[in-house]
Amino acid sequence: MDSIVVTGGAELSGEIPIAGAKNTCLKLMCAALLSEEPLTLTNVPRLSDVETLTTLLESLGTEVASVQGGNSLMLSAADITNMTAHYDIVRKLRASFNVLGPMMGRCGEAIVSLPGGCAIGARKVDLHLTSLEAMGAKIDLEEGYVHASAPTGLKGTEIEFPFVSVGATENTLCAAVLAKGTTVLKNVAREPDTVALAHCLIAMGADIEGAGTSEMVIRGVDALHGTTHRVISDRIELGTYMIAPAIAGGSVELIGGTRDLVAALADKLEEAGVEITETDKGLKVNRANGRVKSVDVTTAPFPGFPTDLQAQMMALMCTADGVANLEETIFENRFMHAPELIRMGADIDVHGGTAKVTGVEQLRGAPVMATDLRASVSLILAGLAAEGETVVSRVYHLDRGYERLEAKLQGVGAKVERVAA
């Protein structure tokens, strides 16, 4: 298995291009199942998660053609020939559970494997299922699979989510666009990924009001048509690379980044003493000299501080001047990176959902192990600031969500190398 070796101490300078958003792209790919006509996506990130979902969609009968060297995908679901999303794929990629809503909308039938456990928490899918039931679907769980059916089609209704779920909002939205009548969804996710999905569905002929607010009204239509849609910039990749110069020192321009995608992070970085400027091409992040100041962070649904940037922010706080309390409110077990950071000399005390991070003057390189996608990149970031070499193993986690990570960091002067085992 490959490792990534980071030699700390280099100041960063230059530009990093931000790729299309993984989480947006995956949901848009699932939405292709809603139409007989092709959906073309541009600005598609080259990630193993995209390849995994491609395999799943192909197994359902979708033709997926890669154009422009993989930067665009044309997905054509003229016929859905197989109703089963198999465990082998769904367990590798939880987002593949989001074929359920589109298949129910289009076919009124789907058999989708339950995703199973996950390193960061239980990650239940009960809200996905109860909302489909509220729309008239019959749901049975058999041998680890969800068997969903609505032989006479789904019916619009009012659904209030008890808490915000990105995946459940998106699955229900996709089911509702082809349901009979009007669906009102309350307490929905306002994540840019969810809004982008709604905009793509509207371009395909769906009737959706309220995307980006906490209530969406969806009037069912008979069919959706094809369209071409550009995937928005990846706000988590953007946020990760904003933290890179903050932790390593230097100045980096993030091409294609916009402040609205990462406002909660940008505010916190400024509070910590990092300079952020909007430019014609993106966002410039500069940490001129000295350590950043500690800042407290609580994760929350958008527009709050993203849970997907908590690990990276923790790495930064490990080197900050002062004490930071990081509170994780979205996932119950998302501090797996803390013991690894402690191996690098960090001072972190985890109590329940809060990590108290007392900044140290210098982290030291160490062999560390990646546990999930965002945890692994936090170790790379910590390595940029550490004295000596940090060797991050299990980097397949990184390849799921960061396109050309080493090349992008090398491009701004970081000493980062992939070593084949």
253 binds ligand UD1 (CB under 6 A): no
Q: Give the x-and-dash track for 326-345 against ligand UD1 (CB under 6 A).
A: ----xx--------------
Q: Which is nearer to ligand UD1, 234 or 253 (CB)?
A: 234
| CB contact set of 130 (below 8 Å; sequence gap of 6+) | none
Identity of the residue, 110 or 366, whose beta carbon is nearer to ligand UD1 in the bound complex = 110
Contact (CB, 8 A) for 244 and 238: no
Examine residue 86 and tell whether it contacts ligand UD1 (CB under 6 A).
no
Q: Which residues contact 58 (CB under 8 A, 6 or more apart)?
A: 64
Q: Is 235 in the site for ligand UD1 (CB under 6 A)?
A: no
Which tokens go with 313?
């922010």
- Report, in Å, the least distance between residue 41 CB and ligand UD1: 15
Which residues, 6 or more positions from 307, have their beta carbon under 8 angstroms from its beta carbon?
Answer: 299, 328, 329, 330, 331, 334
Nearest residue to ligand UD1 by CB is 167
* Stretch in the footprint of ligand UD1 (CB under 6 A) among 146-154, 166-174, 290-298, 341-349: 166-174
- In three state form, how does the secondary structure of 299-330 look? ECCCCCECHHHHHHHHHHHHCCECEEEEECCC
**What is the DSSP secondary structure assignment for residue 261, as one 8-state letter?**
G
Tell me the HSE value of 145 on the side-chain side, using a 13 A CA sphere: 16
State which residue, 117 or 290, has the beta carbon closest to ligand UD1: 117
Which stretch in 9-17, 68-76, 119-127, 148-156 sits in contact with ligand UD1 by CB under 6 A? Answer: 119-127
* Smallest gap from residue 215 Cβ to ligand UD1 (A): 17
Residue with the two structure tokens 């019959």:
138
Closest by CA to 41, choosing from 187, 197, 151, is 197
Stretch of 116-124, 266-274, 314-322, 335-343 contacting ligand UD1, by CB under 6 A: 116-124
Catalytic residue (one of 25, 107, 118, 318)? 118
- Number of Cβ within a 10 Å radius of residue 345: 18
Element (H, E) at 262: none
Q: Which of residues 201-230 bind ligand UD1 (CB under 6 A)?
A: none
Contact between 172 and ligand UD1 per CB under 6 A: no
Instruction: Select from 21, 111, 168, 188 the one that contacts ligand UD1 (CB under 6 A).
Output: 168
With residue 48 as reference, give the H or E element that holds it. Answer: helix 48-59
348 binds ligand UD1, rule: CB under 6 A: no
Which residue in the set 10, 33, 128, 132 belongs to the binding site for ligand UD1 (CB under 6 A)?
Answer: 128
Rounded distance, CA 265 to CA 385, Å? Answer: 20
Beta bridge partners of 64: 75
Residue 153 touching ligand UD1 (CB under 6 A): no
Residue 118 bears catalytic tag: yes
* 122-130, 139-147, 219-227, 357-365 -> range binding ligand UD1 (CB under 6 A): 122-130
Tell me if 12 sits within 8 A of 414, measured CB to CB. Answer: yes
Tell me: does residue 124 bind ligand UD1 (CB under 6 A).
Answer: yes
Residue 126 interacts with ligand UD1 (CB under 6 A): yes or no: yes
Q: Rule CB under 6 A: say whether 161 interacts with ligand UD1.
A: no
- Contact range with ligand UD1 by CB under 6 A, out of 13-21, 69-77, 115-123, 218-226: 115-123
Would you state the structure tokens that stand for residue 369, as one six-digit string?
Answer: 């192990």
List 29, 85, 95, 369, residue binding ligand UD1 (CB under 6 A)? 95
Nearest approach, Cβ of residue 49 and ligand UD1 (Å): 8
Reading the block at residue 75, the tokens are: 């997905």
372 near ligand UD1, rule: CB under 6 A: no
Cβ–Cβ under 8 Å, residues 49 and 238: no
Cα-based angle 231, 301, 148 (whole degrees, multiple of 5): 70
* R_g (Cα) of the chain, nearest Å: 21
Active site members: 118
**Residues of this chain that bind ligand UD1 (CB under 6 A):** 23, 26, 94-95, 121-128, 165-168, 193, 307-308, 330-331
